Structure 1
Amino acid sequence: MSFVNKLLASVGIGSATVDTKIFRSELVPGEEVEGIVQIRGGNVEQQIDSIYLSLYTTYELKKDDRRVREQIQIGRYRLTQSLVIRPNEGKEIPFSFELPLDTPLTIGKTKVWVRTGLDIKNAVDPADRDYISIVPTPLTGAIFHSLSQLGFRLRNADCEQAKGIFRNRLPFIQEFEFVPVRGPFRGKLDELEVVFFPKRQGIEVLMEVDRKARGFASLLAEALEMDESLVRFTVSEQDIPNLTEIIGSVISRYS
């Protein structure tokens, strides 16, 4: 029977299982993710070489002239060295790790999850997936609020493949697309695309200001994609009281 159990465990039947409990499912980039990993032994004793947590999201990229979505690992954390789990034994392993500052916000199509894996030799590694909600930091939230105050509405948000100078640690950027629905920029701009590059002391903001075509010259510029201006600036939490004025001034220079 023991041999049969070992054979079955090697293909995932009656083997150890894993379940991760994350204490808080809503977090901001840079915060600590805390929880416990619960392991339950199967029908036979098994050696677990390592327990690891991986942070995943998805992004859109172009492949063979098609737009596809791919999963990508944005962080990996090893919890323990090897251990032995006996039949039906239960173990709980606490964990804590820091969310990367460039973890995307779970807005629009973007999802973020933690995958827990057990590395077991000669067996199917059991795994568990737990989704978490990534919300704006106070500074990012203040930028969103300022754009709303200026009359912009968020139309779309997604993670897309980054190229050239826009590629940092990760092969994608999270782009937020706003449209002016009221206020001073309605009728002047078609849209405003915003990307955040978070730093320890603030956020570098990249804005692409898409001016509305007016007259033949503007229509020609739009046809040639010359009606867009790219601007970068940095803000910090000290700027929050004046953020609406700062952002409004930046956009006005290019609208």
Structure 2
Amino acid sequence: MSILNKMLASVGIGAAKVDTLLEKEQYMPGEMIAGKVMIYGGKVAQPIEGISLFLMCNYIREVDDHKHHVKAVLAEFEVAGSHTIASEETKEIAFSFRLPYNLPYSIGQTQIWLQTGATIKNALDPQDKDYLAIHPDRPIQNVMEAIEGLQFSLRKATCQERKHPRRYPLPFQQEFEYIPTGGMYLNRLDELEVIFQYNGQSLDLMLQIDRKGFGFSGMIADSLDLDETYVSIHFTAEELHNSSLVATKIANVLQQHV
């Protein structure tokens, strides 16, 4: 019977299982996340080489005009080293770690999850997936509210592969696409694309300003992307907490390029 159990465990039947339990599901970048990993022994004792938690996200990579959804590891945290889980044994391993600041937000179709991976000899690697809701903190909310206050509405938010990944810690960037809904920008801009580069203190706000084209010259400019302007606005930690100042800086830059 023991030999049979070992054979079954080697293909994942009756093998050890892992389950990660989090204290909550809602977080902000830079916040501490805590929970516990439960390990449930199977029909036979099994050596576990290690247990890690992987913070994951999907992003879009375009190859030859085809879009592919690719998984990215945002961060990895080791929970436990090598040990043995006995038959029918239950182990509980507590953990806590700080989330990175450069996380995408759970806006639009963006999904972030914590994946538990356990390397168990002679068995399929058991995995557990727990979805997280990552929300902007107050400074980033101030920026988003300032953009909306200029009569823009968020149309979509997507994670796209970066063109120059070596310059950044992640292979993708989260892009927020706003459209004007009224005011002075309604008939002057097609859209405003926004990228947040935030480190928990200061922010570099990357803007792609897409102007409306009129007539034949507008069609030519649109086809050559000459109607698009790229500009960056830097905010200090103190400025990010001043809502009116944030709105004023963004408005001034838009007026210069519209």
What range is the shorter-chain TM-score in? over 0.9
Instruction: Describe the SS at the equivalent of 1:184.
Output: helix
Deviation at 1:65, TM superposition (A): 3.1
TM-score norm. by structure 2 comes to: 0.94
- Following superposition, the deviation at residue 223 of structure 1 comes to 2.7
Q: Aligned letter for 1:110? A: T
Q: Which residue of 2 aligns with 1:202?
A: 202
- Give deviations 1:65-116, integer Å, cap 9, x for gaps: 3111111111111111112111111111111122121111111111000110
Query: What CA distance in whole angstroms lies between the structure 2 residues aligned with 1:183 and 1:243?
Result: 18
Contact 1:47 1:85 in 2 (8 A): yes
Do structure 1's residue 144 and structure 2's residue 144 form an aligned pair?
yes
Q: Which stretches in structure 1 are left out of the alignment for 5+ residues?
A: none
Segments of structure 2 that go 5 or more residues without pairing to the other structure are none
Q: Secondary structure at the match of 2:43?
A: coil
Q: Which is further off, 162-171 or 96-105?
A: 162-171
* 1:41 paired to 2:41: yes
Supply the distance in 2 between the matched residues of 1:130 and 1:45 (Cα, whole angstroms).
Answer: 26
Residue identity in the other structure for 2:246: L
Structure 1 contact 167–173 (Cα < 8 Å) conserved: no
Q: How many residues align?
A: 255
The aligned amino acid for 2:251 is G
Deviations 1:113-155 (Å, cap 9, x if unpaired)?
A: 0110111112111110000001112111111100111100000
Which residue of structure 2 lines up, in the alignment, with residue 25 of structure 1?
25
2:18 pairs with 1:15: no
Question: Residues of 2 paired with 1:171 and 1:81: CA distance?
Answer: 29
Distance in 1 separating the partners of 2:115 and 2:165: 30
Equivalent pair of 1:112/1:133 in contact (CA under 8 Å): yes
Determine helix, strand or coil for the equivalent of 2:190.
strand
- Partners of 1:166 and 1:48 in 2: CA distance: 35
Structure 1 position 247, deviation (Å): 1.0
1:245 pairs, out of 248, 251, 257, with 248
Aligned mates of 2:65, 2:228 — CA distance in 1 = 25
Q: Deviations over 1:202-248 (max 9, x none)?
A: 11110000111234433432232101110011113422321111111
3-state SS, counterpart of residue 94 of structure 2 = strand
**Partners of 2:226 and 2:149 in 1: CA distance:** 28
- Return the offset for 1:63: 2.2
Shift of 1:173: 0.7
CA, structure 1 residues 84+160, in 2 after alignment: closer, same or farther (shift >3 Å)?
same
User: Within 1, Cα distance between the matches of 2:166 and 2:216?
Assistant: 32
Residues 165 and 81 from structure 1, CA distance in 2 versus in 1: closer, same or farther, beyond 3 angstroms?
closer
Question: What's the RMSD between the two structures over aligned residues?
Answer: 1.5
Give runs of aligned pairs for residues 1-255 of structure 1, distance below 5 A.
1-164=1-164, 167-239=167-239, 240-241=241-242, 242-255=245-258
Bigger drift between 57-66 and 171-180 goes to 57-66
Aligned mates of 2:165, 2:187 — CA distance in 1:
31
Query: Percent same amino acid among aligned pairs?
Result: 38
2:252 partner amino acid: S
Cα separation, partners in 2 of 1:40 and 1:166, compared to 1, 3 Å = closer
Compared with structure 1, are the counterparts of its residues 165 and 50 closer, same or farther at alpha carbon in structure 2 (3 Å cutoff)? closer
Specify whether residues 235 and 122 from structure 1 end up closer, same or farther in structure 2 by C-alpha distance, changes over 3 A only: same
Question: Partner letter of residue 65 of structure 1?
Answer: D
